[in-house]
A and B are shown apart, each in its own frame.
Chain A
Amino acid sequence: MGTTPFRLTVDGVEIEAIEGQSVIEACDAAGIYIPRLCHHPDLEPSGNCRICTCTINGRNAAACVTPAAHGMVIENATPLLTADRRALIEMLFVEGNHPCPYCVASGDCELQALGYRLGMVAPLQPYRWPGRKIDATHPDIYLDHDRCILCSRCIRASRMEDGKTIFGFEGRGIAMRLNVDAEGGLGETQMAAIDKAASVCPVACIVIKRDSYRVPNGERRFDTAPIGSEIEAKRKGLPR
């Protein structure tokens, strides 16, 4: 991997990147936030949520799986892309059950935080009310399938970080679901609460038992600043 920096522009702002970085990594380093859900800095990218889609050299592409290149012209925070992202978020909200008012992840949920950041007032699509059962068979962790947004973070974390194959998808299209590699549920797998897979869920699908609501209102992750603020804080001093 080369380390010679090169330059590209994002929404008219010229930034520096190095070879091997994806567009989203280069933007993160430069303090420009591209909304995302499936991307996690500790995991290999998968490009399956499409929230980070940007217009790159005139064509739409997922920023998490597109290598940064010299001279790239990237559009990120445009009204059109923001509307597309909001539509994706809305579809995720109606596809599952996401009752923010009492959800254990409220205030710490990346889906909820993106809804706020992207200006989602109420979903325009009809709710599907799926009613999937909770898998609470594990003594320390439960899976609330109604919350799953199929981001695959847990699948990647389990395989690449934990050296296990606890999670996988079954089915295709609208029928695709997260599943575990045991007929009797999570409790029959080798999953442990200290696994990386237990800590990367962006919503409240994979939750540590008996640990909810311990952070008071006002002190939760997104209570004080919108999602992406920690990335944008790096941008201080850069030309706008």
Chain B
Amino acid sequence: MSEMQTTPGPRKIVIDPVTRVEGHGKVTIRLNEAGEVEQARFHIVEFRGFERFIQGRMYWEVPVIVQRLCGICPVSHHLCAAKAMDAIAGVDRVTPTADKMRRLMHYGQVLQSNAVNFFHLASPDLLLGFEAPVAQRNIVGVIEAFPEIGKWAIFIRKFGQQVIAATGGRRIHPRLCIPGGVNQNLAVEPRDALRADIDRIVQWCGAALELHKTFVHAHEALHERFASFPSSYMSLTGAGGVMDLYDGTLRAVDAAGTPIFENVPASAYRDQLIEEVRPWSYMKFPHIRSLGREAGWYRVGPLAQLNCCSRIDTPLAEAARRDFMARGNGGLVHATLAYHWARLICMIHCAEKIRELLFDDDLQGSDLLLTGQHRPEGIAAIEAPRGTLLHHYVVDEHDQVTAANLIVSTTHNNEAMNRAVTKVAIDDLTGHEITEGLLNHIEVAIRAYDPCLSCATHALGDMPLIVTLEDAEGTVIATRVKQ
């Protein structure tokens, strides 16, 4: 249900709430005296405060507590917190069985979450068109128009969740990790069930990519132009620059692909990144310290994962990566809509990695847990479905958390999402009216980043979009709410 409130005079537009994203957000577009777009902001209006209320809790509780931040990517928080708590427990490297169990769970998580974004949230725009009627532009409409895609949507996501359940006991909010290792290995029965389906999942991920490419080829200009701008990127990479979504070191490149920093362990993130607070959003604005506030913003997520890595160590995903990077003509790929293409390549990579692990006997090993000497600080990073996730904890001599800092993927992308919204507003706003088309385009731009607003503010609630149009004095011209 949409509502529109209009007051006379020069003004401000509000889209509130933004739909088909994870969490509560609103958009404000401010016009100058000439009626041109002066500024557009994507506000995160939720607040949850996990960083505060885990203070005082015992450190081994944290991987289980913080995954309650989110119902979409709880696994990413569970694993990232566990990696940080490994450090607190004095364990630098967990056993091969523990490492592979965690990796298997992570690949299942990225696969299912990316499937949710691509199929359930984004594909209605891509397959049915940005301007298709709202009543049809949803996953049900996609299933009606493309039954095969509906099948992929359901079964790829289901498979990813089954991987999570096989490793952590349940599909959402699993429990696998304890500081220093894991609490179980992979039972043979669920392993065999997953083995039976994995080839089909790999094939479907590949087919989804091919389908998406047909959309891109049919809309080349739109794909390149829509909400696009060059930027820096950051992600974890493994040894030699290989894509590693679970572990590795931080690498950032500028818009030309030149490294800004690389081989930076997560524990040194503060040397490279700084977070800025702005009064109009609960989400912080991190930027690269050496480049400063204005030039130091960057993007994370699937597009960054592709732009930052030098290769992928699974064959189908590597072939897809080469094809994708060719679009950059020797440089990086900057199109905002290319996030979806990159997301599909990551899905192929995860499916291939899952297949690899399902045939690895280490997963049936019994060496699950290591112990070490207690340390006061733990910092870890992981490439969550939406990009780099950083967890930082300080623990006292009684094992209680005294400080925590979480920088989630959506927070890294904060500035980029604001720029994407501004770009769309400049391109598409005509007059002082929030048209359905403008609303749709703003949402499409935001959705490319697959923002999880719940995670970003560590927040709670439903998932609406509000757009507000303001004049130069900040007077509201129009507000449009979309549930």
Interface residues of chain A, those whose CB is within 8 Å of chain B, are 101-102, 104, 133-134, 136-137, 142, 207, 209-210, 212-218
Contacts and interface: CB of A to CB of B under 8 A. Distances in A.
Interface stretch (B60-68, B427-435, B458-466): B60-68
A95 B175 CA distance: 27
Contacts of B400: 134, 136
B173 A101 contact: yes
Contacts of A213: 60, 64, 175, 178, 183
Contacts of A134: 56-58, 400
A147 B379 CA distance: 29
Nearest to B173: A101
Contacts of B399: 136, 142, 209-210
Contacts of A214: 178, 183, 369
Nearest to B371: A210
Consensus secondary structure, chain A interface: loop
With a 10 A CB-CB cut-off, give which of B89, B173, B178, B398 has the most chain A CB atoms: B398
29 contacts: A101-B68, A101-B173, A102-B64, A102-B68, A104-B60, A134-B400, A136-B58, A136-B399, A136-B400, A137-B398, A142-B398, A207-B58, A209-B399, A210-B179, A210-B371, A213-B60, A213-B64, A213-B178, A213-B183, A214-B178, A214-B183, A214-B369, A215-B183, A216-B168, A216-B169, A216-B176, A217-B169, A217-B170, A217-B175
Contacts of B35: none
B173 A142 contact: no
A210 B60 contact: yes
Contacts of A215: 183
A129 to B, nearest CB: 12
A171 B61 CA distance: 30
B184 interface: yes
Contacts of B60: 104, 210, 212-213
Given A142-B58, A210-B179, A213-B64, 4 more contacts: A212-B178, A213-B178, A213-B183, A216-B169
B365 interface: no
Nearest to A213: B178
Contacts of A212: 58, 60-61, 178
Contacts of B68: 101-102
B174 interface: yes
Nearest to A133: B56
A209 B56 CA distance: 14
A104 B371 CA distance: 19
The 4 closest A-B pairs by CB, nearest first: A217-B169, A136-B398, A216-B184, A102-B64
Contacts of B56: 133-134
B469 to A, nearest CB: 41
Contacts of B170: 217
A111 B64 CA distance: 20
B183 A216 contact: yes
A101 B65 CA distance: 8
Interface of B: 56-58, 60-61, 64-65, 68, 89, 168-170, 173-176, 178-179, 183-184, 369, 371, 398-400
Nearest to B182: A216
A212 B59 CA distance: 11
A207 B176 CA distance: 20
Nearest to A210: B60
A174 B124 CA distance: 56
A216 B175 contact: yes
A136 B369 CA distance: 23
B414 to A, nearest CB: 28
Contacts of B184: 216
A136 B59 CA distance: 11
B61 A104 contact: yes
A175 to B, nearest CB: 22
Contacts of B178: 212-214
A215 B68 CA distance: 20
A209 B174 CA distance: 21
B384 to A, nearest CB: 19
Contacts of A142: 58, 398-399
Nearest to B63: A213
A77 to B, nearest CB: 31
Nearest to A187: B398
Contact of A102 (B61, B168, B371, B398): B61
Contacts of A102: 61, 64-65, 68
Contact of B168 (A101, A137, A217): A217
Nearest to A218: B169
Contacts of B57: 134
Given A102-B64, A102-B68, A136-B400, A217 B174 contact: yes
A144 to B, nearest CB: 8
Nearest to A204: B61
A136 B55 CA distance: 13
A213 B58 CA distance: 12
Most buried by A among B60, B170, B175, B184: B175
A105 to B, nearest CB: 11
A213 B179 CA distance: 10
A207 B60 CA distance: 12
Nearest to B180: A210
Contacts of A137: 398
Contacts of B169: 216-218
Contacts of B65: 102
Contacts of A210: 60, 89, 179, 371, 399
B345 to A, nearest CB: 32
A218 B171 CA distance: 13
A104 to B, nearest CB: 6
A215 B174 CA distance: 12
Contacts of B173: 101
Contacts of B64: 102, 213
Contacts of B369: 214
A133 B55 CA distance: 11
Nearest to B178: A213
B78 to A, nearest CB: 11
Contacts of A217: 168-170, 174-175
A191 to B, nearest CB: 15
Given A136-B399, A214-B178, A217-B174, A209 B183 contact: no
